[in-house]
Amino acid sequence: LTQHFAGTGAKQADERRWDAVLAPTLVPIAIAYAVAHNFSTWVEQLRAIAPLLSDPMGNGWNLLGLTTRYSGEPILAARGTWYLAFLAIIVGHLISVWLAHCVMREALHNVTQRRRASLPLMLLMIAYTGVSLAIIAEPIAFFPD
């Protein structure tokens, strides 16, 4: 990381290097979104594979004895899916903030510079968290139990 910033004189070059170094810290947020929005679909689709393996042509076969195992009932209730999405988003964002902090701590040794440099990314991550939590809370707000 120190070599990445060595010899940068121009402000524009510095900004490009910050982008390149800090962009990977957003990857946990992308993974958290993928889990939060697709986990229930992944689980249900994996459950449906067993009957498809027993009857690959749809002819009513039961080659592996697995066609009766798929009941069609969801494994996770809507509330469980919501809690899992909430947890994934929070954990993904916490990991991203921690990674960004580690990058800043390694690149900048002055605490004031570190705080000033990390503020825009921190505000972006807080905005991502707020928006994503609002999106997953919307069905609960409009369709309470």
Do 136 and 54 form a contact (C-beta atoms < 8 A)?
no
How many alpha carbons fall within 13 Å on the CB side of residue 74? 10
- Whether the model clears a pTM of 0.85, i.e. scores above it, the answer is no
Q: Is the pLDDT of residue 45 over 60?
A: yes
What is the distance between the terminal CA atoms of the chain, rounded to a whole angstrom?
51
- pLDDT band at 27, cuts 50/70/90? very high
In which residue are the tokens 């992308």 written?
30
Instruction: Enter the tokens of residue 43.
Output: 């689980």
Q: pLDDT at position 28, please? A: 93
Give mean pLDDT, residues 57-85: 74
Do 138 and 86 form a contact (C-beta atoms < 8 A)?
no
Give mean pLDDT, residues 105-109: 82
Q: How many Cβ atoms are within 10 Å of 124's Cβ, its own excluded?
A: 15
| DSSP 8-state code for residue 6 | T
Average pLDDT, the chain: 76
Distance (Å, whole) CA 22 – CA 134: 25
| DSSP 8-state code for residue 24 | G
- pLDDT band at 95, cuts 50/70/90? very high
**C-alpha distances out from residue 3 to 84, 95, 106, 116, Å:** 40, 25, 11, 22
